[in-house]
Amino acid sequence: MTDRGDDHARGESRVVAQGTFDILHPGHVHYLREAAAFGELHVIIARRENVTHKPKPIVPDEQRRRMVEALDPVAEAHLGHREDIFVPIEQIQPSVIVLGHDQHHDDDAIAAALEDRGIDCVVRRASALEADDALYSTGDIIERVCEERC
């Protein structure tokens, strides 16, 4: 995991991870385990209507939330806010936000927005999962299903 801030965020702090989590795969589990190493893990699930950087999720919002919350590393999963992505972060008050290794977010822009809102937390980036024969992206899983079943 790459450090994007100081180390004051260890121990029993609250941690936020976020994503779409459309079809769960080993990359998601790796990301959430790394994030949970920093403390009590809260995961924010992107609402379908807010996903604009890739195809909309297939699995309904609440189902994705329940699936993520059922994973061992996760203390609680929340649906994202419809209009302001920082509202759940303000409610959770994390010490650390861990971004996925390939998420499109700009670490510095998020850190600046957090500071502007008076949220005192560091931003870190999770490491990539080492490649093997597993499928690490929802898009790859969908493509494989279409190749083999359609």
94 is in an annotated binding site: no
The C-alpha atoms of residue 95 and residue 26 are separated, in whole angstroms, by 25
CATH code, 63: 3.40.50.620
Beta strands in the chain (DSSP E): 13-19, 39-45, 76-79, 96-99, 122-125
19 is in an annotated binding site: no
21 is in an annotated binding site: yes
What domain count does the chain have? 1
Residue 119 is part of which domain span?
Answer: 13-149
Residue type, 133: D
Could you read off the pLDDT tens digit of each residue along the chain, which spans 150 residues? 444 344 433 447 999 999 999 999 989 999 999 999 999 999 999 999 999 988 999 999 999 999 999 999 999 999 999 999 999 999 999 999 999 988 888 889 999 999 999 999 999 999 988 777 777 788 888 999 999 998
Q: For residue 103, is it within any domain?
A: yes
Q: For residue 99, is it within any domain?
A: yes
DSSP 78-144: EEPPSS-TTHHHHHH--SEEEE-TT----HHHHHHHHHHTT---EEEEPPPPPPSSS---HHHHHHH
25 is in an annotated binding site: yes
27 is in an annotated binding site: yes
User: In terms of Cα–Cα distance, which of 104, 99, 105 is closest to 35?
Assistant: 99
Q: For residue 5, is it within any domain?
A: no
pLDDT at residue 103, rounded to an integer: 85
Q: For residue 7, is it within any domain?
A: no
Q: For residue 4, is it within any domain?
A: no
Tokens of 37: 């190493």
* Residue whose tokens read 């809102």: 117
Q: For residue 20, is it within any domain?
A: yes
DSSP 34-45: HHHTTEEEEEEE
